C-alpha cells in the first residue's frame, strides 16, 4: 500500500487560518495594550534598562551581557510593541482579502500570492491549527 501525501491546504484554508490568528492577536493586544499608552525604553537615571508604559516599568531587561546589550534588547522590545504589530495585522487582513478575492474570482493571481502567504504562515508554524502541522505520533 502506498502512503498518501497530505493534501495541500487550499487558499480558503490559509485565509481562514490567518484570519483566526488575526483575531487571536487582536484579543491579546486588547489585554496588553488596552491602556493606550506607548511603550518606551526606561529613561536615563533608571536603575536598569527596561520597557515602561505610562511611567510604570512593564518589563525590566537584564540580559547578563552588559548595559549595551540590555539597552539594545529593550529598544528591540519597544520596536515590536502592540502599536507596531497592529500595522502587521492590517497587512495580514489585506492579504486575507486578496486571498479570498482571488479564490472567489478564480483568479490566476493565487500563485503569485503564495510566496507572500509563506511569509505570513511561517510566523505561526508551531500553532496546532496550522494547515501543514504534522500531529505528533501517538505512542
As to burial, measured by CB atoms within 10 angstroms (0-12 exposed, 13-18 middle, 19+ buried), residue 34 is exposed
Is pTM beyond 0.85? Reply is no
pLDDT at 3: 56
Contact 39, 81 (CB under 8 A): yes
CA-based angle 126:50:124, to the nearest 5? 10
Domain-wise residue ranges, the chain = 10-36+81-131, 39-80
Nearest to 116 by CA among 86, 139, 94, 138: 94
Please list the pLDDT of the chain residue by residue as tens digits (139 residues): 455 555 778 888 888 888 898 888 878 776 666 566 778 888 766 777 888 887 888 889 988 898 889 889 988 888 877 666 777 778 888 888 888 888 888 777 777 777 777 777 777 777 788 887 665 555 5
Amino acid at each position: 500500500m502506498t502512503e498518501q501525501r497530505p493534501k495541500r491546504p487550499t487558499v480558503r484554508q490559509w485565509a481562514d487560518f490567518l484570519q483566526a490568528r488575526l483575531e487571536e492577536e487582536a484579543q491579546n493586544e486588547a489585554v496588553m495594550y488596552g491602556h493606550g499608552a506607548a511603550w518606551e525604553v526606561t529613561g536615563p537615571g533608571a536603575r536598569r534598562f527596561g520597557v515602561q508604559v505610562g511611567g510604570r516599568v512593564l518589563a525590566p531587561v537584564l540580559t547578563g551581557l552588559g548595559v549595551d546589550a540590555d539597552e539594545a534588547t529593550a529598544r528591540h522590545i519597544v520596536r515590536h510593541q502592540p502599536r507596531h504589530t497592529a500595522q502587521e495585522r492590517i497587512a495580514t487582513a489585506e492579504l486575507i482579502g486578496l486571498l479570498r478575492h482571488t479564490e472567489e474570482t478564480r483568479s490566476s493571481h493565487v500563485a503569485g500570492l503564495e510566496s507572500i502567504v509563506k511569509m505570513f504562515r511561517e510566523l505561526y508554524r508551531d500553532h496546532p491549527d496550522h494547515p501543514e502541522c504534522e500531529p505528533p505520533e501517538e505512542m
